[in-house]
A and B are shown apart, each in its own frame.
Chain A
Amino acid sequence: AAGVIQSPRHLIKEKRETATLKCYPIPRHDTVYWYQQGPGQDPQFLISFYEKMQSDKGSIPDRFSAQQFSDYHSELNMSSLELGDSALYFCASSLGSMGQLGNTGELFFGEGSRLTVL
């Protein structure tokens, strides 16, 4: 079965550079979530989109922006990268937003994109 696809899987950037992560949700899934996970840490919620509109926002730095496109894929743009941005970035998708009636609630996670900032 098709899963959530994230690219690139690994990237290395210098401080102050920019990076773009891409996420392709499971077909028919209309909701995308972005999480950041540092080493040994829990996933921290960054932002979510439902039907191409931002649906919730967490601890996402102002240097980061994201959007969901008409084909439901999403991109996370990170600028002025800092050493502390080094982490694993997960994208997850679901069918329907979390509060929708009948939503099973399950988030399907991609394999993640590992960002290293030098």
Chain B
Amino acid sequence: GQQVMQIPQYQHVQEGEDFTTYCNSSTTLSNIQWYKQRPGGHPVFLIQLVKSGEVKKQKRLTFQFGEAKKNSSLHITATQTTDVGTYFCAGYYGGATNKLIFGTGTLLAVQP
């Protein structure tokens, strides 16, 4: 079946350090999205990547979509305490499907 895995499960960093989470799908994706969920909150959309090899930046966040469209990464430069939360990638497989398959998520803790 369609599965989306993320590593690491948990990352603890000092404020100002960089952070990267990696996402891998068992099969080729049509596109991939990234969401952030604060503790006690709901998932909030960050970005969507569609093209093979695509790279997008949002201030300190850099998102990449692999050439084979099976993996993706999110890199945060110089983390801040406001970056705390769980980061999920979510894959869309296209065709007749109408759902996003969420990855296992990476919980980011930032120590001031």
Interface residues of A (CB under 8 A from B): 31, 33, 35, 42-45, 48, 50, 55-56, 58, 90, 92, 97-99, 104-112
Cα–Cα distance between A79 and B62 once the two chains are bound (Å) = 44
- Cα–Cα distance between A35 and B42 once the two chains are bound (Å): 11
Main secondary structure of the interface of B (DSSP, over half): loop
For residue B104, CB closer than 8 A to chain A, the reply is yes
Contact of B99 among A33, A90, A108, A109 (CB under 8 A): A33
Number of A-B residue pairs with CB-CB distance less than 8 Å in the complex they form = 62
**Is there a chain A Cβ closer than 8 Å to B19's Cβ?**
no
Nearest A residue (CB) for B97? A56
Contact of A99 among B33, B41, B48, B98 (CB under 8 A): B98
Assuming A42-B103, A43-B88, A43-B102, is B45 touching A106 (CB within 8 A)? yes
Sample of 14 A–B contacts (CB below 8 Å):
A33-B99, A33-B100, A42-B102, A56-B96, A56-B98, A90-B43, A92-B43, A98-B92, A99-B30, A105-B92, A106-B33, A109-B43, A111-B42, A112-B42
The size of the chain B interface, using a CB distance under 8 A, is 23
Instruction: Judge if B52 is at the interface, Cβ distance under 8 Å.
Output: no
Taking a contact as CB atoms closer than 8 A, the residue among A35, A48, A90, A104 that contacts B98 in the complex is: A48
Q: Are A106 and B48 in contact (CB under 8 A)?
A: yes
Q: A33-B100, A99-B30, A105-B48 are in contact. List 4 more A-B contacts (CB 8 A).
A: A42-B105, A45-B99, A90-B42, A111-B41
Contacts of A109 in B (CB 8 A): 42-44
